[in-house]
Amino acid sequence: MSRRRSALAPRPAARVGRFIIVALALVISIGPVLYGVLLSLRPYSAIVRAPLDLFPSLDEIDLSAYTTAMLDESQGGFGLGRFVLNSLIVAFGTVVLSIVVSILGAYAAARLRYRGRGGVNAVILGVYLFPGIVLAVPLFVLLARAGLTGSLVGLFFVYVAITVPVSIYMMRNYFLALPESVEEAAIIDGASMPQMLRSVVLPIALPGIVATAIYVFMIAWNEYFYALLFLVQDRALWTAPLGISQLSDFNVPVTVLLAGSIAITVPVVVLFFFAQRYLVDGLTSGAEK
């Protein structure tokens, strides 16, 4: 007796169409990146001679573009390695402080009941929606009076100020989705508020916290406007976006530009690679019993 096909099972034509769409999406999204990686491995003279050759020969592979982009100016490079280190310091510091502050603020916004709660939440989101140029003048004045302009510390506080509102808004929505019965059970068992938050709420909310941390890191890593405003006078303190902007000059070989662009994406790729495991663990770690 023949087996009947499930009504939910995709038809063969649908499977083929889905495969074609996914393949096209991969080619469109990954193709330019892969082409850039291959070009960065070839000498500049070879690219000028044959720019459409996709795969370099083994004797043609040249990593000098990466060393030129990453080495300091005193060593004949463009100093991108130092700029990447500055970005890592500021971005990771921003993630740590922003997430710690946002966890407390988001939980309070999600669980505390007070008059004007909706208006406060709207203000939090509204601050993030302000264009960066609107906040630039007051932030610059505040940091100038504090003597923090032209320093990574001042840029760090700026990034925390612009990422805390969106972090609170994102994690607040996640805390609202958590069952209150789990927290009530922990309190009945004798857990204090800090113990309940640390041992019960945070493990369940781990996916939202990790996702928010990645988003905050991306903001701090890619931010250009405030870095230009506060650090333009001191080249030694430049971040990666400022450093990569100098490689867009016509006098810079395209191989160096591509090598620098690829190099500054490595920390983000590594972050997503390691965060994926924590996201999966967090999704399965919390359950109401």
Q: Is the pLDDT of residue 165 over 80?
A: yes
What pLDDT score does 287 carry?
A: 40
State the pLDDT at residue 283: 47
Checking if the pLDDT of 91 tops 90, the result is: yes
Picking from 283, 237, 271, the residue whose alpha carbon sits closest to that of residue 84 is 237
Taking CA 143 as the corner, what is the angle to CA 218 and CA 130, rounded to the nearest 5 degrees? 50
Predicted confidence band at 83 (pLDDT cuts at 50, 70, 90)? very high
95-to-25, 161, 197 alpha-carbon distances in Å: 31, 11, 19
CA distance 112 to 123: 17
3 state SS of 52 = coil
pTM of the model: 0.82
DSSP state string for 58-76: GGG---HHHHHHHS-GGGT
Q: Which stretch, 174-188, 195-209, 216-230, 244-258, has highest mean pLDDT? A: 216-230
d(CA 168, CA 191): 25
Provide the pLDDT for residue 285.
Answer: 43
Residue 31 has pLDDT above 90, yes or no: no
DSSP type of residue 237 = G
Q: Residue 154 pLDDT > 60, yes or no? A: yes
Per-residue pLDDT at 86 exceeds 90: yes
More confident residue, 37 or 4: 37
Give the model confidence (pLDDT) of 252-285 as tens digits. 888 888 888 888 888 888 887 877 766 655 444 4
Helix (H/G/I), strand (E/B), else coil: 199: helix
pLDDT band at 94 (very low <50, low <70, confident <90, very high): very high
Average the pLDDT over 73-80 and give the result: 83
Tokens of 1: 């007796």
| pLDDT for 89 | 94
Largest CA distance in the chain: 84
Token pair 């393949």: residue: 23
pLDDT of residue 139: 85
Provide the residue type at 28 as one letter.
I
CA separation for the pair 99, 101 (Å, rounded): 5
**C-alpha distance from residue 37 to each of 196, 241, 250 (Å):** 48, 19, 20
pLDDT band of 95, cuts 50, 70, 90: very high
Q: What integer best gives the mean pLDDT of the chain?
A: 81
Residue range 139-155: mean pLDDT, rounded? 87
Per-residue burial over 110-140, b if 16 or more Cβ lie within 10 Å, else e, is beeeeeeeeeebeebeebbeeeeeeeeeebb
Confidence of residue 125 (pLDDT cuts 50, 70, 90): confident
Alpha helices in the chain (DSSP H): 12-40, 44-49, 64-70, 80-111, 117-129, 132-146, 152-176, 180-188, 193-196, 202-204, 206-222, 225-231, 240-246, 254-285
Q: Which of 12-26, 138-152, 160-174, 268-282 has the lowest mean pLDDT?
A: 268-282
**The one-letter amino acid at 196:** M
Residue 92 above 90 pLDDT? Answer: yes
Among 165, 170, 105, smallest CA distance to 129 is for 165
